[in-house]
Amino acid sequence: MARQLTENRIVLASHNSGKVREIRELLAPFAVEVVSAGELDLPEPDETETTYKGNAILKAKAAALASGLPALSDDSGFELMAINKDPGIYSARWAGPDKDFGLAMEKVNTAFEASGSDDRHCRFICALSLVWPDGHDETVEGIIDGDFVWPPRGTNGFGYDPIFQLKGHEQTFGEVDPEWKDSVSHRAKAFAQLLDRCFRDTPKGS
């Protein structure tokens, strides 16, 4: 039986404002105060693991130990099959120190063209980990499939959203309504699993 979240305050172990906004929305129905790692001035650990789940646990554990509160973290990425699932766990790093996702998307397209492949299958993956200060973790993963589009389209969302078109749809995540993205995304899928596992006893907000 998975551990239940009964505390009324948690830390969101992320410094990415796009993710913080989306996760706050997902947690909105609960009577749980969400503070971000940035607000608590917690350091950002190096992501030294080789899997999304490993990095999600690493980040949440660091925040839980530093704050004494349960911590929730997200490790996610964009994968393009034709280029060996790059950038994958290095998705944030492909944007460089300036976090320039225009540049990161250019790199994806350059690698895609160099591959000679016409397979545009890509996906977003999200691992979510909830870690308590005693080190216990509950960790889940959500995946969605899409098509890589070029050139990028739309200014909504963040990161690789303008080059991701969910299978069966005609707009990129950069073009769709953010609320709709929140309801179908890899993060939403992972979150649904986490809710099912750990939030059964969590008080709802008014």
Sequence-ordered list of residues with C-beta below 8 angstroms from that of 124, at least 6 positions apart, any chain: 76, 77, 78, 79, 143, 144, 146, 160, 164, 185, 186
Catalytic residue among 75, 86, 161, 182: 75
Segment contacting ligand IMP (CB under 6 A): 23-31, 32-40, 60-68, 153-161? 153-161
Question: Is the CB of residue 75 less than 8 Å from the CB of residue 53?
Answer: yes
- 137 noted as active-site residue: no
Q: State the nearest-atom distance from the C-beta of 170 to ligand IMP, in Å.
A: 18
Q: CB nearer to ligand IMP: give 52 or 199.
A: 52
Instruction: Categorise residue 137: left if φ over 0, alpha if ψ from -120 to 50, beta otherwise.
Output: beta
State the Cα–Cα distance between residues 108 and 160, nearest whole angstrom: 10
Q: State the nearest-atom distance from the C-beta of 115 to ligand IMP, in Å.
A: 20
Q: CB nearer to ligand IMP: give 101 or 112.
A: 101
Segment contacting ligand IMP (CB under 6 A): 62-70, 76-84, 109-117, 195-203? 76-84
Sequence-ordered list of residues with C-beta below 8 angstroms from that of 8, at least 6 positions apart, any chain: 31, 32, 33, 203
Q: Is 195 in the site for ligand IMP (CB under 6 A)?
A: no
Q: Is 185 in the site for ligand IMP (CB under 6 A)?
A: yes
Query: In whole angstroms, how far apart are CA 52 and each of 40, 142, 143?
Result: 24, 11, 11
Q: Is 158 in the site for ligand IMP (CB under 6 A)?
A: yes
The site string for ligand IMP over 26-65 (x = CB under 6 A, - otherwise) reads ---------------------x------------------
For the beta carbon of residue 155, count every other beta carbon within 10 angstroms. 9
The residues that touch ligand IMP, with contacts defined as CB under 6 A, are 16, 47, 74-78, 91-92, 101, 124, 157-161, 173, 185
Residues with a known catalytic role:
75
